[in-house]
Structure 1
């Protein structure tokens, strides 16, 4: 079976993790934390990067430290991984769901403008799969005095012109789960250029303990710290980020070339964006039965994934309000094997298999 994703751990990951164990630095202190944060700062380009235990707590920590809470509203796309919405709810604020654009599947700036109220405290653009949100969202936020929290969980390594995604936001968050471009097993990070905010992020992630006085806790905090073992894996990963990104770019280009003209629709990426191509994702032709397509690919030894369900389709966020673009995407989208260890022959195998399955009569809905 060709998996959708498998981490590339062929560098110094085991050696560094063994070193963390051998030196007894296994918890949230140790040299690899500093090394990993430094490598991330060098890649992202913000003044500060704070490593945390996963991407979801990175979002919650960012919102909390921007004082988002009860009575506030945060605009977020309904088409996103549920962590984006859950993190808002966990602060006591209200997630305000917006539809996405058909070309890039990302937060629609026109919807954002229409949803702003006096209670809007923040906007959360979520960069999904290969795409990057329209920078007009940040301009809308600045002109209205609203904070921007960019969910960059899937786009480490993506650049917009000469700068890394997330660097123009008040704060950006990243994930290093096992299926991300760079992994620490479980892990995340918060990036910002705001010196005062960075200090608060560091303090609050460690139970609100003073950074200068041990066991003195003068504000509410959380245990969101990354372990030195996870950071050791991440440090080794960051040593090879350029080669990993190059390989993923090659894989995405091969898929687009092989499947062009087949009736599938790829996510639009602006020409000034250099995408990290996290997970190659496409929309099946209208009328195709996605479950049958995925089952057919499984029979041919190829694993796939459906795209995320919309937040407004979940029981806790259920809404009868229509979100037609997001609903269409979530009904037709699938992700193909996209891990950096995928060979050219395997990319061709997956492409040929998809074309074969799409040609079968039983994948079409009557």
Structure 2
């Protein structure tokens, strides 16, 4: 069996450093709000190029805390609108809904599967306060277009970078001097998930917020700690969302190899790009749009086929495991049907009906990639 993702193999590749680091924390007697978390927050802030990083309990909390902070600061109010791609994971929308704001679903580009900026502009109303691009599959959204739109209408830009750890935008953006900017440094604030399967994954749940906004960072950190900055004194109606010392230690160990692992993902992507018989099999992929470069860290390698389910069964019959990201779009989920179920979103629906994710984790071998390619090319 070629696994879709072999976390056991990945974690074993960090030994003995990983176990040694975990043992130190276990023996330290300090498990929350300690030196390991502070160290990782500084390391990840430096890596992303932002002055502030706040660890959180998970990626959903990270996005939610950004919106809660904007509400506490008076920049957003109940019922204000946030434009978000319709083909994202449901957590992106839940973060908006949890804070009393309204997600406005935007169709993606059919080529990149990221937010279609031109379509987003048609959705702006007097209640629009933010645009939330999702760097889907590990590929950066059109951030120049997003920034131009945000500047014209006075909107906040909030990145959902849960799938894009380490992705680099090699161009200039308004207010950013460095032309090589990482995900997490491309908007007013960004949210990351460190779910174990991510490019930078913990051994459990974890998340983080990066930002240049010191006021936002301070409010976020307080809200995440029960609304408190001083023990037993609560300024906000907060929540409990903290990155613990064990997960922070794991992330520090893994961060040192993130760029190398992302480069390996691109090598595998190139093997797929150059050797799959795309035209003959009537397959499509975002990899064939814009080439392979550092703006894509290939958290997921998507292929699209009108015969997706048959292709998945064909691969499974040859002991190749794949996944679908995602089988049901958010507006067709039972949780959101009442408000969004009647919307017609044909591009989003086609993506969800045709997407199949191939294995692409860094320890996948060239031989295994070759077996996957050969199997796909025998699909009739």
TM value normalised by structure 2? 0.89
The reply on whether 1:51 has 2:90 as its aligned counterpart is: no
The reply on whether 1:22 has 2:27 as its aligned counterpart is: yes
In the other structure, the counterpart of 1:364 is: none
Match of 1:41 among 42, 45, 54: 45
* Residues 192 and 260 (structure 1), Cα distance of their counterparts in 2 relative to 1, 3 Å cut: farther
The reply on whether 1:243 has 2:278 as its aligned counterpart is: no
Question: What is the correspondence of 1:268-307 to structure 2 with a 5 Å cutoff?
Answer: 268=287, 270=290, 273-284=294-305, 286=306, 288=307, 290-307=308-325
d(CA) in 2 for partners of 1:189, 1:43: 13
- 1:138 deviates by 2.1
In the other structure, the counterpart of 1:4 is: 4
d(CA) in 1 for partners of 2:154, 2:162: 25
d(CA) in 2 for partners of 1:146, 1:23: 45
Contact 2:139 2:167 in 1 (8 A): no
Q: Deviations over 1:302-321 (max 9, x none)?
A: 11111213211112322222
Match of 2:342 among 320, 324, 333: 320
Q: Deviations over 1:266-292 (max 9, x none)?
A: 1155457532111111112x3x2x222
In the other structure, the counterpart of 1:152 is: 161
In the other structure, the counterpart of 2:236 is: 219
- 1:260 deviates by 4.5
d(CA) in 2 for partners of 1:302, 1:225: 37
Q: Deviations over 1:158-216 (max 9, x none)?
A: 00101112313110111111110011121111000011111111111111112xx3211
In the other structure, the counterpart of 1:362 is: none
- 1:29 deviates by 2.0
Question: Unpaired segments of 5 or more residues in structure 1?
Answer: 360-366
In the other structure, the counterpart of 1:363 is: none
The reply on whether 1:205 has 2:213 as its aligned counterpart is: no
- 1:23 deviates by 0.9
Match of 1:141 among 130, 150, 167: 150
- The structure with higher relative contact order (CA 8 Å, sep 6+) is 1
Question: What is the correspondence of 1:355-366 to structure 2 with a 5 Å cutoff?
Answer: 355-356=377-378, 358-359=379-380
- 1:226 deviates by 0.8
d(CA) in 2 for partners of 1:335, 1:69: 38
In the other structure, the counterpart of 1:125 is: 133
The reply on whether 1:257 has 2:257 as its aligned counterpart is: no
The reply on whether 1:311 has 2:330 as its aligned counterpart is: yes
In the other structure, the counterpart of 2:177 is: none
Match of 1:171 among 159, 172, 189: 189
In the other structure, the counterpart of 2:69 is: 65
d(CA) in 2 for partners of 1:86, 1:332: 24
Q: Considering only aligned residues, what root-mean-square deviation do their CA atoms show, in Å? A: 1.5
TM value normalised by structure 1? 0.92
- 1:128 deviates by 0.6
Contact 2:140 2:295 in 1 (8 A): no
Q: How many residues align structurally?
A: 352
d(CA) in 2 for partners of 1:351, 1:177: 28
